[in-house]
Amino acid sequence: MKKQAAKSLRVFAIELAVYAVLVVCYFFLVLHLLGEWLYHLETQHRYIYAGVALLLIAGQAVVLDTVTTLLFRFLRGRSR
């Protein structure tokens, strides 16, 4: 039982580390590129900005959930 818990913790720690690297890449690539455009949209076209904001957050939720699920499945598979 203890061995199983230690294994789960190790897998979770690896998942967190891989996830952290992906998130850092995301900050520099996506947010840096989107920042100016979103700022312009927010000041000039509020309705489009509102729609884009919703699409971005929902899209990110779906993508990140898929990434974490795949990552978890991949690491679990390898640790067996």
Partner 1 sequence: MFFPISNAHINPIYLVVVGFIIGILGGFFGVGGSFIAGPALRLMGVDWNYAVGTDLAHIVGKSIVAAKQHRALGNVDLKLGFIMAFGTIGGAECGAQLIQVLKRAGNVNTVVSYVAIIVYSGIAAFMLWESRKTLRSAKGRSQRGLVKGAESKKDRSAFGPVTRNIQRLKIWPMITLPTSGIRISLWTILLVAFVGGVFGGFLGGGAGYIRMPSMVYVLGIPTHLAVGTDLFEIVISASYGTFTHAIKGNVDILIALVMHTGAVIGAQIGAVATQYFAGPKIRLAFVPLPLIGAAIVIYTLITGHKI
Applying CB under 8 A, which of residues 57, 77, 78, 80 lies at the interface with partner 1? 57
Applying CB under 8 A, which of residues 16, 29, 33, 70 lies at the interface with partner 1? 16
Please report how close the Cβ of residue 75 comes to partner 1 at its closest, in angstroms: 13
Give Cβ neighbours of residue 49 (< 8 Å, ≥ 6 apart): 38, 41, 42
Give the integer Cα–Cα distance in Å for 49 and 43: 9
Give the integer Cα–Cα distance in Å for 69 and 35: 28
By C-beta, is 6 or 53 nearer to partner 1?
53
Applying CB under 8 A, which of residues 14, 38, 74, 75 lies at the interface with partner 1? 38
